[in-house]
Amino acid sequence: MKLELKQVAKLLDLPEATIMRWIRQGKIPAKFENGHYVFHEKQLKKWARTHNITLREDKLVEQLNDEDDITLYDAMRRGGVFFDIEGDKPEEVLAQAVSVIRFPPDVDRELLLEKLLQREELSSTGIGEGVAIPHPRQPLEKLSIKAMVATCFLKRGVNFNSVDGRPVFVLFIMLCGSTKIHLKLLSRLSFCLRNKGFVEILKGYPSAEALLNKVKELENTL
């Protein structure tokens, strides 16, 4: 499992600034991915044993079960941004998206895809303006996935039977472990999508950095 900076700080019971200093000094194993540092749990535990350091794993459990403070920016950064997703039908682009999104190794991708397709069969997740927000009908309590929103730009527009009839060019695949977090992230994403400037940025297929920066900017106005 990959851990973020704030999680490692909790595990070590140290300030995030101290962890960042250790990273710069090469004292702790970390990798720079998608604009931020991540830690692999197994490597971190091995490092801790070697340095006779005790990890506060109870703190990690608390964090995994309580993400009330999560922002849309956090969830989108965690989910990643992907381009040129292939497919001519909703089921094809969803299958391709699920295959490229970075999940923990124990996640059953086939089961996840099935849940997304079941929701799509119930009613389209296409909300208009070329945007769809696929998500399972029920929270993913039994899957080891932390709340995330994966942004997937399609290679070509796909008919999702959206409310305005426009083909979808971008998916925001929302995966959460609780209804509370799902509604919070959905509300924040809806807020961004009501901003015409944000929609225009989406249509320009922005870089991951530009997209996330705009999301952070809009969230800061809430």
Task: Strand 31-33: give its sheet, edge to edge.
Answer: 2-4, 36-40, 31-33
Report the topology of domain 72-219. Mannitol-specific EII; Chain A (3.40.930)
Q: Does 136 have pLDDT greater than 80? A: yes
Q: How confident is the model at residue 109 (pLDDT cuts 50, 70, 90)?
A: very high
Residue 184: which H helix or E strand, with range? helix 179-193
Instruction: Please identify which residue in the block is written with the tokens 């320009």.
Output: 204
Q: Where in the chain is the domain with CATH 3.40.930.10?
A: 72-219
Q: How confident is the model at residue 150 (pLDDT cuts 50, 70, 90)?
A: very high
Q: Is there a contact between 11 and 60 (Cβ–Cβ < 8 Å)?
A: yes
CATH 1.10.10 for domain 2-65? no
Q: Where in the chain is the domain with CATH 1.10.1660?
A: 2-65
Mean pLDDT of the residues in the chain: 90
- DSSP designation for 29: -
Higher pLDDT, 154 or 60: 154
Mean pLDDT of 157-161: 97
Q: List pLDDT tens digits, range 22-46.
A: 999 999 999 998 788 999 888 999 9
- Best-predicted range by mean pLDDT among 42-51, 88-97, 135-144? 88-97
Residues with catalytic function:
135
